Amino acid sequence: MYTTRLRAVSDKLTNTEKKIASYLESNPQQSRIMTSYELATQLDIGQSTIIRFSKKLGYNSFRDLQVDLINSPSPAAIEDISVDEPTNATSYKITRQYQEIIDLTYAQNSDVTIEKAVQYIRCARRIQIHGIGNSNLFAQYFANQLTTIGVLASCASNNHVVYSTISCYGPDDLVILISESGETPEILQAAKIAQNHGVPVISMTRAVKNKLYDCSDLILRTVNRMSRTRLETMTMRCSQLCLIDMIYLNLFKTDYERYLKALDESKTLAFTKER
């Protein structure tokens, strides 16, 4: 997954970090056996820069990066889609890219993180979920999923409604924010209002640190891959959906009988309404 991790943060790399990435790509065999000190010496940079680069990609150490580099497929296996390639080639690449994103989403979010998110939701009296643009569609989906099992969750597309709602919340409530960039002004404003009222904030945002990190009690990391096509946006949505379903199903397990009963009642009401 090294290539996918690198693509996910490529627009946030410094010139020195791009130099490291370029060397690893150009010298794959040598890179796999070098220590961080040897690589730093080779590139005439500080060893700490190698460590920071590794951590920016989500690894605990340079050694972990090397292990992943050894096991990662060649860049050609997950290259961008070309307009003149056959259907089977495009379909295969899409399948690989989506699988890589799902695997990386799982790797970026520990069991402890998912369990904390579940606990926040279980303990919350009321939950406001918010996103801007396409992210609001996933916020609505998340709120609907929670509502069907009896969790008092809501989602609004109007920012002023969201701000007013959050300002009425307190420490026993919860705000969940979805923002790929983590820099959207409206989302940051919602987070700050929540902070001012002592409301816990869970943020679903990209793995690279951004402004939303400092306004959140818990971070759920989403990933995507840089691409010349619209596939970049689609894979990021895949990461968001994967995380939402991971949380929802793990929540469902914590009180299976109660949530199942609520879900059955919700389905019955929906069926009656349709008739």
Comparing 27-41, 67-81, 201-215, 261-275, the range with the smallest average pLDDT is 67-81
What CATH number has the domain bearing residue 118? 3.40.50.10490
Q: Which of 53, 72, 91 is the last residue of a domain?
A: 72
For tokens 């150009």, the residue is 26
Total domains in the fold of the chain: 2
pLDDT at 246: 98
Query: Mind listing the pLDDT tens digit for each residue in 139-180?
Result: 999 999 999 999 999 999 999 999 999 999 999 999 999 999
How far apart CA 83 and CA 159 sit, in angstroms, is: 40
- Amino acid at the residue 114: I
pLDDT at 226: 59
Print the domain residue range for 161.
108-274
Name which residue leads in pLDDT, 13 or 188.
Answer: 188
pLDDT at 196: 98
pLDDT at 187: 98
pLDDT at 231: 60
In this structure, how many other beta carbons lie within 10 angstroms of the beta carbon of residue 185?
10
Domain match, 162 and 38 both: no
Domain match, 67 and 128 both: no
pLDDT at 69: 83
User: Does the pLDDT at position 40 exceed 80?
Assistant: yes
User: Does the pLDDT at position 273 exceed 70?
Assistant: no
Backbone angles phi, psi at 138, to 5 degrees: -75, -30
Instruction: Give the three-class secondary structure for 176.
Output: strand
Within-domain flag for 209? yes
Name which residue leads in pLDDT, 251 or 32.
Answer: 251
For tokens 């794959």, the residue is 28
Query: Mind listing the pLDDT tens digit for each residue in 178-226?
Result: 999 999 999 999 999 999 999 999 999 988 889 999 999 999 999 876 5
For tokens 């109007």, the residue is 158
CA angle in degrees (0–180, nearest 5) for 222-226-231: 85
The neighbouring-strand residues paired with 203 are 177, 219
Q: Which of 18-22, 80-84, 92-96, 249-253 is predicted most confidently? A: 249-253
Domain match, 125 and 10 both: no
Q: Reduced to 3 DSSP states, what percent helix, strand and coil does the chain have, rounded to the nearest 5? A: 65, 10, 25
User: Does the pLDDT at position 4 exceed 80?
Assistant: no
Q: What is the mean pLDDT of the chain?
A: 89
Domain match, 113 and 229 both: yes
Q: Among 214, 249, 193, which Cα is nearest to 203's?
A: 214
Within-domain flag for 183? yes
What CATH number has the domain bearing residue 13? 1.10.10.10
How far apart CA 206 and CA 240 sit, in angstroms, is: 10
Query: Mind listing the pLDDT tens digit for each residue in 62-107?
Result: 999 988 887 765 554 456 677 788 999 888 888 888 888 898 888 8
Domain match, 67 and 135 both: no
Within-domain flag for 87? no
Within-domain flag for 102? no
pLDDT at 247: 98
Q: Among 198, 163, 203, which Cα is nearest to 183's?
A: 203
Domain match, 119 and 248 both: yes
Average pLDDT over residues 111-134: 97
User: Global pTM?
Assistant: 0.77
Within-domain flag for 267? yes
Q: Which of 8-12, 229-233, 237-241 is predicted most confidently? A: 237-241
User: Cα dist. 64→2, 35, 60, 78, 117 in Å?
Assistant: 10, 12, 6, 21, 26
